[in-house]
Amino acid sequence: MTGIISITTPDGDPVPATDNVGRLAYYRRKGYVIETVEAEPEADGGGEPQGDPVPFDPAEHSVAEVTAYLDGLDDTDTEAHAAEVTRVLEAERNGKNRSTLVGAPPVE
């Protein structure tokens, strides 16, 4: 199981954990250390292992959170970064289609 997040300031001071996407992106930009820690399995086996995490769904987030998520993506793998940005923006176009995220609609 994953999802336990450890956050420390650049000086090593602990910060209360959060799963708020916008806040995590802010922390990353400011140089905070953010780690997802593997939880210890339960003594009885803990059930079935989890598959891939649920992909980020822009429809479940505010414009600011979507923007923060996209800004916080790891860009060391340019192809994976571009694919995720494309996937999120396509999901936005097919969902809420907010012009502040996907741009103004074309004028006919």
**pLDDT digits over 89-103, tens only?**
999 999 999 888 888
Long-range contact list for 45-49, CB < 8 A, 24+ apart?
A: 46/1
Residue 70 has pLDDT above 60, yes or no: yes
pLDDT at 94: 92
pLDDT at 2: 45
Residue 48 has pLDDT above 60, yes or no: no
Question: How far, in Å, CA of 71 to CA of 56, rounded?
Answer: 13
Q: What angle do CA 41, 42, 44 make, to 5 degrees?
A: 125
Confidence of residue 24 (pLDDT cuts 50, 70, 90): confident
Cα separation values, 52 from 1, 36, 47, 78, 93, Å: 11, 15, 16, 21, 24
Residue 13 has pLDDT above 50, yes or no: yes
User: What tokens were used for 4?
Assistant: 């336990």
Among the listed residues 36, 32, 35, 30, the one whose alpha carbon sits nearest the alpha carbon of residue 2: 36
